[in-house]
Amino acid sequence: MLFRKTLSRPIQELVVIGFAAFTIFLVGVAQAQDSGTETKAGETAAPCAACHGEKGIPIDKSTPVIWGQNEGYLYLQLRDFKSGARKNNVMTPIAQALQRDDMLTLAQYFSSKRWPQLGLPSAPADIVAKAARANNSIGCTGCHQSEYQGEGTQPRLAGQWREYLESQMLAFRDGSRGNNPGMSDLMNAASKEDIAAMAQYLAGQQYMPGQ
């Protein structure tokens, strides 16, 4: 009995050590796989930084923020640039070089980033009032959500460049951005003055998700 006891203890320990080592091995494999996916997404996303910014702040006001933009929306835009449903001399050739999997990876990667603060000024009271009237008649927040943070395939507008927002609303209006006929109809129901007010108001909205 004594003999069995003295033998069984090291064996038990060996089993415990063996199990612990195996667990560490499994965790190691899982971590290697995680960083592998992360590295691959990072590599695919690296060229985007030249324009959309190293830290998510784009190089100019005609280039939109994509960090923290909604995943479904990002994917749809890349798909539409590739198919030609949304036309842009810069983004079309970039998207044409991407496969569907790359677009899904990129959409997931950029949506998981934090929206950068561009520090754009809040609109003055008369512009806020004008934007509120436009929202009352067209119901922007019905789709773009109460804080203009968007959701799924509806884009976030809060804190985006004023110039970019205005250019896109006007492009929907005159049909040069034709990938969403619903937005084109709505923008045709708005005056250019309302569109300018909306752009100024939205750029100054500092929505930060509670994370």
Q: Using CB under 6 A as the criterion, which residues of the chain lie in contact with ligand HEC when the complex forms?
A: 47-48, 50-52, 62-64, 66, 69, 74, 76-78, 88, 90-91, 94, 106, 134-135, 138-140, 142-144, 153-155, 157, 165, 168-169, 179-180, 182-183, 186, 190, 198
Q: How many CB atoms lie within 10 A of CB 32?
A: 9
Give 10 or 152: the residue with its C-beta nearer to ligand HEC: 152
Q: How far is the CB of 114 from ligand HEC (least distance, A)?
A: 16
User: Within 13 Å and on the Cβ side, how many CA atoms surround 198?
Assistant: 26
Residue 104 or 186 having the CB closest to ligand HEC: 186
Rounded Cα gap, residues 152 and 57, in angstroms? 22
- Listed in sequence order, the DSSP H helices in the chain are 2-45, 49-52, 71-83, 91-96, 100-111, 125-138, 140-144, 162-174, 181-188, 192-203
Of 139, 120, 152, 122, residue with least CA distance to 189? 139
Measured CA to CA, the distance from residue 185 to residue 109 in angstroms comes to 32
Which among 74, 141, 115, 107 is positioned nearest to 210, based on CA atoms? Answer: 115
**Least separation, in Å, of the C-beta of 77 and ligand HEC?**
4
CB nearer to ligand HEC: give 8 or 37: 37
Nearer to ligand HEC, 13 or 60 (CB): 60
Question: How near is the Cβ of 159 to ligand HEC at its closest, in Å?
Answer: 11
Least distance between ligand HEC and beta carbon 135 (Å)? 6
Task: Output the smallest distance, CB 153 to ligand HEC, in A.
Answer: 6
CA 198 to chain centre: 21
Nearer to ligand HEC, 23 or 188 (CB): 188
